[in-house]
Amino acid sequence: MAFPITRPRRLRVKENIRRLVRETCLTVDDLIYPLFVTHGRGIQNPVEAMPGVYNLSPDMLLEEAARVVDLGIPGILLFGIPREKDETAREAYDDEGIVQQAVRAIKKEFPELVVITDVCLCEYTSHGHCGVVEQGRILNDPTLELLARTALSHARAGADMVAPSDMMDGRVAAIRRALDEAGYQDVSIMSYAAKYASAYYGPFREAVGSAPQFGDRRSYQMDPPNAREALREIALDIEEGADIIMVKPALAYLDIVRQARDAFNYPVAVYNVSGEYAMVKAAALRGWIDERRVVLETLTGMKRAGADIIITYHAKDVARWLREG
């Protein structure tokens, strides 16, 4: 029926009415908090381009994990900063590597906190690429063995979930096979299934020192204009054994999130990446925007688009704001 019989504004008159008819509700249960861990003790080095984000030594990481648990955030995603980088990313799959040490320490103190580990080589290689390099080419198949070894090392340390972010073909199958053969059938895989070659990653690369030393990552990460290709990538990862699929970045790819949600009956994660975070922080620090409202609106939009899980550097702030009501 048309106006004046139908008046949609009636359901917007009062806050409690708006609450009753609200279609999408962001909760702390939706959040994963990314953390960066580095060698040493008492280290809390700020990431200049990401206010509020730090590279933490394992002892400081435990203090941060305690805050995460206190806020009710269900999980964290760990990235490691090695002592040394080399051509074959040896610390990535070293059982005494920085991520492996951090996982053991966190699971000992906070066994119920879900610990997810990023599985990639770019933080650990001297050339900054996500795979084995030979004569300037990133080799797919030789990289799979190193990724599987890395995931298996994380599982031995106690990781609940591994998250391959490299975008090599076949890496989910290689990791699933390695985990299962070693008896880690219960360790799940959250695949960076549709990861685009995005300009939004800049601040992250500062945080972990992973910028490529030559070329770029467009030969393995996805071309931003492509949507149908994302659905093919997601379907392949599911077929290979992914338990959760991820779209990265989030903000400029919410159409991909919606298509993934409509096409696949699997949990969908999004990564609210460093560049998205940094833009909001920069504008908020200058007083140009209301940070709380913008962040909550942005993350609600990600959930409305179809995301079940939101990986975000805003997670602690959001958990506090949701608790405050």
Which residues contribute to the annotated binding site for 5-aminolevulinate?
Answer: 205, 217, 274, 313
Buried b (16+ CB within 10 A) or exposed e, 123-137: bbbebbbbbbbeeee
- 209: which 2 tokens? 């020192």
Could you list the residues known to form a binding site for Mg(2+), using ranges: 233
Query: Coil, strand, or helix at residue 20?
Result: helix
Give the pairing type, strands 75-81 and 31-38.
parallel
Token pair, residue 216, equals 């770029």
- The β-bridge partners of 45 are 55
Q: Which residues are annotated as a binding site for Zn(2+)?
A: 120, 122, 130
Residue ranges for the known binding site are 120, 122, 130, 205, 217, 233, 274, 313
DSSP 146-172: HHHHHHHHHHHHT-SEEEE-S--TTHH
54: part of which helix (H) or strand (E)? Answer: strand 54-56
Choose the catalytic residue: 14, 85, 107, 248. Answer: 248
Catalytic-labelled residue, pool 195, 281, 303, 316? 195
Determine whether 195 is an active site residue. Answer: yes
- The Cα-based distances of 292 to 252, 283, 288, 311, 320 in angstroms read 20, 12, 12, 17, 10
Q: Which residues carry out catalysis?
A: 195, 248
